[in-house]
Structure 1
C-alpha cells in the first residue's frame, strides 16, 4: 500500500521538477536576463552581449549557432569598410613603382641633408597620393576597427562562459558540447590556428599583397603556431567565434580576388602582376633599418654642428675678453 502510494507521488515530484527546470530555461531565454546577470552594460562588450542575447532569444538557436550568426552579422557590417580599403590598396599597388622611386630620392636627399630636395620629394609623394585618391594610412583603418571588435567578442564570450549563462553548458555541438569549458580534445585551438594560417596564405584581409608585410607575415606564421598551447585553456565559445570569423575571412579574400566581383565593387584592376609592381620594394624591416641609420647619421651631424657652434661662440667670447 505504501509503495503504491509513493510511486505516483514520486512521479508527480519528477514532473514538477521537470516543469520547474523547463520554466527556468524558458525564463533565461528572455531579453533582459543578461542585464539581471550583470551583463549588457554600456560598453562595446555589453553591446555584443546584448546582440548575442537577442539573436539567441529570437532565433531559438543553440548558443554555438547564435555565436556563429552574431560573428557573420558583425563581419557583414564591416564589409563596406573592407571594400573601401580594398580600393585604396589596389590604387596603392598600381602606383607602387612611382612611390618606390620617389622614396628612394627622398631618402637620398635626407642622407645628404638637402632640405630643399627633401621638401620637393615630400610634396611630390603627397601629390601622387592625392591624385590617385589613396593613402597608406587608410589601410590602417581595418585593424584599428577589427581589433576592438575581436577583443570585445573575446571578453563578452568569456564573461558569458564564466557565469555561465543558461544553456552554455550544453549549447555546443559534436565533441564540444560544453561551451563554458575548454575543448577536452584541443581540436578547436588547432582548427582556429589552422584558420589563421589559411588566411595568411590566402592573402591579407584586403585581398592584395602588401610589400611592407613580407617580414610581418613570417612573424605571424610563427606566432600562430606558438599561440596554440597558450589559448587551449579558453572556453569553447571563444573558439566558435574565431573559427567562424576565420572561415568568413577566407571566403571574403577569395571573393575579393575574383575579377568579376572586383568589377562589380568598382575595385581598380592591377595594371601589372603584384610581383612586378612590388619590384625593388623593400620590406618593413629593411625600411626600419634604413630609417635608423638615417636617424643616427642626422643625430651625429646635429651633435657635431652644436659642438662647432659652441666652439665658435667660445672663440668669439675669448676674443672679446682680449
Structure 2
C-alpha cells in the first residue's frame, strides 16, 4: 500500500472538506522579541551626548530693562508704549516733551509749559498774520458796516436780487483792498492744527500713564493724569480763552468785527462750553490749555507796542467808533431777532406755504 503525502491527500480531498479543515485548523504565529537592558539605554544616551555633530545648547536671552530704567538711562520709551508714529506730528511733539524732561531735568508740568512756549515762539508767524488781518479790516470798518446795513435793509424788503448785488459789490471791494477771507481761514486752520497736535500728544501720554506724569504736578494738581478736584484749572482755561477771543489774536478778527451772534457766542457761550469740557479732562491737558492761552495773551500785549509792530510790519489798528463799541452783543442779537421777525414773508415763501397747505388739505379727511 502506497503512502500518500498529507499535502497531496489534502489537495485531493473534496473542496467542502478541505475548506472545513482550513477553517478549523488553528494558526499559530510566532513573534521574535529582543530584550533591551537599562545599560543599553544609558550607553546610547552617553554616545549621543558626546557626538560632535550636535549643536550647542542655546544661551538664555538677557533680561531687558524696565521702563523706569530706560528713562533713567536717557533712552526713549515712546515705541514701547505705542506713542511713536513717523507720520504723526503729535509723535514729534511727544519726542520733544520726553527730551526736555529727561535732558533738562524738568518736572512734567514745567515741561509742558516750556514745550508750549517754545513751539508757539517758533510759530510766531501765525499771530503776526492774524494781527495784519485785524489791522487791515479795522481800516475799512466803516465800509464793511455800510455793506452789512445795506444787506439787512434788502433782507427786510425781501429783495433777493438787491442782496446778491450788494454781496458782489462787497466782494469786489474786499479784493480791491487785498482783504481775503481765505487768509482768515488759513490763520484759524493753522492755530487749530497746532492746538490739536499738542492736545492729542499730551492726551495719549496721559491715556497710557507715561511714567512720571502721576507725580509730575505742583500745588494742588500733583497728579497730571487726574481731574482737578477744585475746578480751578478749568476755570482759568475758560477765562483766558474768553480774553483771547476778545482781543482776536487767534482768529484773524477782533470781537467788534464779528457778527453779533458770533460775537455773543464767542464771548459768553464758548467759555462756558470750555469750562464744562475741560472740567472732565486731566490736569495735564488743562495745564497745556492755560499755558497756550497765556502765550496768546502775551502776544496780544506785545503787539500793542508800536516798536514790535514795526519790526513785524503790522499796520496800526483803527479803533471803532464809541457808539458801536458801547453796544453789547446781546442787545445786537436781540435787535436782529426782532428785525427778522418783523420782515414780511416773500412771494416765494407765500407760494411754498400755499403748496404745503394744498398738499395737507388733499391728504386730509374730507369735510362732511
Instruction: Determine if the TM-score, normalized by the shorter chain, exceeds 0.5.
Output: yes
Q: How does 1:5-154 map to 2 (within 5 A)?
A: 23-27=69-73, 29-31=74-76, 33-41=77-85, 42-106=87-151, 108=153, 111=157, 113=159, 115=161, 120-154=165-199
Does the CA-based 8 Å contact 2:150-2:166 persist in structure 1? yes
For residue 303 of structure 2, the aligned residue among 256, 267, 275 is 256
**Separation in structure 2 between the aligned mates of residue 60 and residue 258 of structure 1, nearest angstrom:** 35
CA offsets, 1:8-36, max 9 Å, x none? xxxxxxxxxxx989634414x423x2022
How many residues in Structure 1 have an aligned counterpart in Structure 2?
A: 285
Task: Tell me the CA shift for residue 276 of structure 1.
Answer: 5.2
Task: Tell me the CA shift for residue 180 of structure 1.
Answer: 1.9
Does residue 189 in structure 1 map to residue 239 in structure 2? Answer: no
In structure 2, runs of 5+ residues without a counterpart are: 1-64, 356-368
CA offsets, 1:87-142, max 9 Å, x none? 12211121121122234445555746474x65654443223212221134432333
**Larger displacement relative to structure 2 (195-204 or 38-47):** 195-204
**Separation in structure 1 between the aligned mates of residue 219 and residue 328 of structure 2, nearest angstrom:** 47
Task: Tell me the CA shift for residue 84 of structure 1.
Answer: 1.5
CA offsets, 1:125-182, max 9 Å, x none? 2232122211344323333222343233232212211221122122222332222222
| CA distance 1:132–1:278, change in 2 (3 Å) | farther
Does the CA-based 8 Å contact 1:48-1:152 persist in structure 2? yes
Does the CA-based 8 Å contact 1:176-1:236 persist in structure 2? yes
Aligned to 2:315: 268
**Separation in structure 1 between the aligned mates of residue 94 and residue 194 of structure 2, nearest angstrom:** 12
For residue 222 of structure 2, give the secondary structure of its aligned residue in structure 1. coil
Whichever of the two has the greater Rg, that structure is 2
| CA distance 1:168–1:222, change in 2 (3 Å) | same
In structure 1, runs of 5+ residues without a counterpart are: 1-18, 307-322
Aligned to 1:168: 213
Does residue 221 in structure 1 map to residue 268 in structure 2? Answer: yes
**Separation in structure 2 between the aligned mates of residue 97 and residue 213 of structure 1, nearest angstrom:** 14
Structure 2 length-normalised TM: 0.63
Structure 1 length-normalised TM: 0.71
Task: Tell me the CA shift for residue 238 of structure 1.
Answer: 0.7
Aligned to 1:310: none
CA offsets, 1:22-78, max 9 Å, x none? 634414x423x2022101223243343233233334433222222112211232233
CA offsets, 1:160-219, max 9 Å, x none? 112211221222223322222223443322332332244345555357443325444443
**Separation in structure 1 between the aligned mates of residue 343 and residue 92 of structure 2, nearest angstrom:** 47
**Separation in structure 2 between the aligned mates of residue 265 and residue 236 of structure 1, nearest angstrom:** 35
Greater share of residues in helix: 1
**Separation in structure 2 between the aligned mates of residue 137 and residue 295 of structure 1, nearest angstrom:** 35
| CA distance 1:86–1:48, change in 2 (3 Å) | same
